Amino acid sequence: MCLVFVCDEEERVVGRYAAPGNCPYCGGAVQTIDVESSWRFCFLPLSFNMKRRFLCTICGRKLVSNY
């Protein structure tokens, strides 16, 4: 029997960039955020993931890219 317990998930912002386009809700500028996340098992890193998120700078909503 194999048991895997994830003790911690840590996220770190790698970079922030201006993205083209406007927010469909308020018309504010869109910002691209690159996030590196890592899962830890008893303080040993298991995996690293890079994620790209889009965020409105005015209303703070998370936006989804449809392409």
pLDDT digits (tens, 9 = 90+) for 15-54: 999 999 999 999 999 999 999 988 777 666 677 788 899 9
Q: Any residues with CB less than 8 A from the CB of 7 and at least 6 apart, and which?
A: 40, 41, 42, 43
What whole-number distance in Å separates Cα of residue 4 and Cα of residue 26?
Answer: 43
Domain-wise residue ranges, the chain: 21-62
The tokens describing 61, both together, are: 């909503």
As a whole number of angstroms, the distance between CA 37 and CA 12 comes to: 6
Q: In this predicted structure, what is the pLDDT of residue 10?
A: 80
Predicted confidence (pLDDT) at residue 1 exceeds the cutoff of 70: no
Predicted TM-score (pTM) of the model is 0.69
> What token pair was written down for 44?
């040993």
